[in-house]
Structure 1
Amino acid sequence: MSRARRIDTHQHLVPPHYAEWMRDKGIRPGGVDLPSWSPSAALKFMDGHGIQTGILSLSTPGVYFGDAAEARRWAREINEYTAGVVTGRPDRFGFFATLTLPDVEGALTEAEYALGTLNADGIVLLANNDGRYLGDPGFEPLLKFLHDRQATVFVHPGELPAPEVPGIPTFTADFLLDTTRTAISLILSGAMAKYPGIKLILAHAGGFVPYISYRILLTMMSTKNKAQQAWTLLDRKHQVPRQLAVLRQFYYDIALSSSPAALPSLLAVADPDHITYGSDFPFAPAPAVTFLNKTYEQYPLEDNQRAAIDRGNSEKIFPRLKG
């Protein structure tokens, strides 16, 4: 069992001014109360869960609420605040910069500043932005920029652009569908083929992507009027079709997804070098992370595979953390 020196690619921060802004708006991200957060609390959590470095990101709902100028101001403030946290403890923290989508011009400006001036480790994008998924043609200028920069992009679910179901928090299932929708959007739009330089990390083991991988295959084939061919392929070959290779381009974190029910689906679909450790702290409280870590640590993995998930795969994405 290896718990030491994990790199956590799914760890959030809640800057104090941002928390006030969210509470003023009455927003409960994912249908839960906004958790308290501080760098010292994050370090205490990490020390208790074998985490050497947390790559911090802002969670849903991000900064865009219909006013592009407001979103730009908040993105800059949050990124500069987070860069300051990282500067104070670069061995313990990294960060994914917040952008302003669906404001593409603002997103390009902020991405350039965050990656070039603040030395962000990557970018966080919500799966949907004002109801538009990442394969939307209007987002291509940003995808091209991120491809050219060989950027790492953490894709986190947003609030599903659909009515909530009373009594069911949106983090329970809507979040997973939101990530799944944007992954399919990126595939069907051709963005995965066109912009392979982007290292895309899908939150929560990709939502439903591993479980519905063959449905995605059939969708890909049916868009080319080859649905019957796809069924024949599945029926006769009894092997993973080459069309599913696109799913191995994605990286997947195991935040809230390291159960004995979820891990087999993920391991059947993901490239072994493309799975990273994630906690979802502080939205996932420490006791929940402790419980899920135990299920992960008890799952029968080879030692080298567990070490790769805990740290090795992330070292390849973030070379500054190697060693």
Structure 2
Amino acid sequence: MPTTLITTPTFARHSTRPWQILEEAGADPLRPCEDAALPIADLLKYAPEADALIVGMDAITAEVMDASPRLKVIAKHGVGVDTIDVAAARSRGIPVVCAPGSNSRAVAEYTFGLLLSATRSLAASHTSVAAGGWPKLFGPELHGKTLGIVGFGRIGRLLAGYARAFGMELLAHDPYVPGADVRAHGAEPVALDTLLARADAVSLHTPPDPSGAPLLDRARLAAMKRGAVLINAARGGLVDERALADLLSSGHFGAAALDAFSTEPLPADHPLRQAPRTLLTSHMAACTPEANQAMGAMVAEDVVRVLAGKGPHHQVR
């Protein structure tokens, strides 16, 4: 019986269906760690017996693959596969699958919530009221402001719709999306530096550079409009976090709301923990029951297909 090693604690958390798909196909699901990501030492310990991996934010490197002689498929319980060495998997004949679109609405809704919370200081007001205060914190209305969306795939387009409903103007940067498609969703296609200079708020929805260099380095962050709001519910490596903390402290930024960080969980000495006008959340934008059920079922079905000798529906190319 093939073994499916599950390293993420969120798999099938809100639906038994993904687990049932594996069990009914005899794919023998095994999750050694129920309440946290599987530590790398344990991953390497269980890897030799794994015919399939279902992973979260784990780094699935060539070392992990070489420790898994039976491995036939790697499934990302989510969408972004930047933590998986796809090239190494391809060279070893191991397909990598994911769940495209499964969490798009969850992330887009959450992102817009971050924008509202950051601009109107909702978290700061809650903290003060809970401590006995009663502040009157002012923040700008979104109507008439310009939102810049970096990455105009499924999530970016959904976010554009929410922003239009609030009367926002839209800029979008995505070199892989034709300008006509951007305009069809009510946004103006522009170069990245133009977007950063013009937008009152910027939201990131793009994978990080494979080199590890931040898309928004210190120079680009400093070039953004004074008082702008930065939202990142994508990947932490997109932003120079120390530079962002410095620019928040200097008053250059109006606010920042981040759900993804270069190191997770956030270290105790991380500069953004002490930065003003900052909203920090625990990489939970995709955490809805609906998204959890959809992504779990999608990856389970593809795991079963590969183990049965069939082609997967959602293979990463």
What range describes the TM-score normalised by the shorter chain of this pair?
0.3 to 0.5
Query: Could you say which structure has the larger radius of gyration?
Result: 2
The structure with the largest helix share of the pair is 1
- With the length of structure 2 as denominator, give the TM-score of the two structures: 0.32
What is the TM-score of this pair, normalised by structure 1? Answer: 0.32
